Amino acid sequence: MLLVADIGNTETVLGLRTSGGSIGPRWRIRSDPARTPDELGIVLRELIASVPDAPRIEALVAASVVPPFTRVLAEAGERYLGIAVEEFYWRPELGIRLAVDEPTQVGADRVANALGAHLAYPGPAIVIDFGTATTFDVVAGDGAFLGGAIAPGIEAAAASLFSRTALLPRIALGFPESSIGRTTVENLQIGVYHGATVMVDGLVARIRAEWERGARVIATGGLAGQLAPHCESVDVVDPDLTLKGIGWGYERLRPRTA
C-alpha cells in the first residue's frame, strides 16, 4: 500500500492508497518545519498502526510546496517506517503537458490536480482547490495544464482583514444563512464566505466564456466541503483528487524509477 501526502502551506493531508487507486484513511497534520523527524515519525507510526490490520507501506510519495517540511517528513518516514520517500513533481513520463510560460513555477499540487482530473474526470476541467489559497487549475481534454488563477483562501482573507482593522472582532468560521447581516460578526461572515463563493462563480464564468463553456468544475481541498455546496458552478466535489493524482503519478513513474 502507498502512503501519499499533499504538503500545503498550513496543513499536510496524508492518505493510504489502495492498489485500485482509491484513498482509504486520511489524516491532517500541521505542515510545521520546526517539528523534529522523531516527533513526526512517531506520529506517522501511530497513524498507520491505528488502521485495522495495519498494512505494509511500500513507499511515501509527497507533493509539496513547503520544502523544509518535506525534508523532515522524508527523514521521519525513512527512520520510523523504513520506507523510501519520493517527491512528486512534473516529469514528461506523467503523460501530461505544462502548457504555460513558466512551467518550473507550477506547484506540485497543481500538477497532481491536473493529472487527477484528467484520469478521474476525462474532458476539459477546472479544478478549484480550496486551501490556504484558492487555486483554479485549467485542464485541457488531453490533460495539459493550461494555467489558471490564484486567489486568497477564506482563512487567509479573514486573517488579513482582522490584522489590519483595530475594531473588527475575530469571527468563528461558519457559513452564514442570510446575505444581510444584522450584527458586525454576521457582516464579516457574509463578506468572507458569500464573497468567496461569488468570487468562485464569477471566475469560473469568465474562464468558461474565454476557454470552454462546457468545462466540468471539480472542487477539492480542505475547505471544499464547506464552500463548494454554496457555489453554483461546482459540478463535482472530490476531496481526494490531489492524493489520487499523486498516486497515479507514482504508478506512471515507477517503471522508470524502479
Answer for the pair 249, 38: CB distance below 8 angstroms, yes or no. no
Catalytic residue (one of 6, 38, 53, 109): 109
Q: Is 142 a catalytic residue?
A: no
Q: What is the DSSP letter of 53?
A: T
- Closest listed residue to residue 189, CA positions, set 206, 175, 200: 175
Q: How open is the CA angle 78-222-36, to the nearest 5 degrees?
A: 30
Which residues lie closer than 8 Å to 20 by C-beta, 6 or more apart?
none
CB contact at 8 A, 93 and 256: yes
Task: Please give the Cα distance from 77 to 59 (Å, whole number).
Answer: 9
Looking at the annotation, which residues are catalytic? Answer: 109
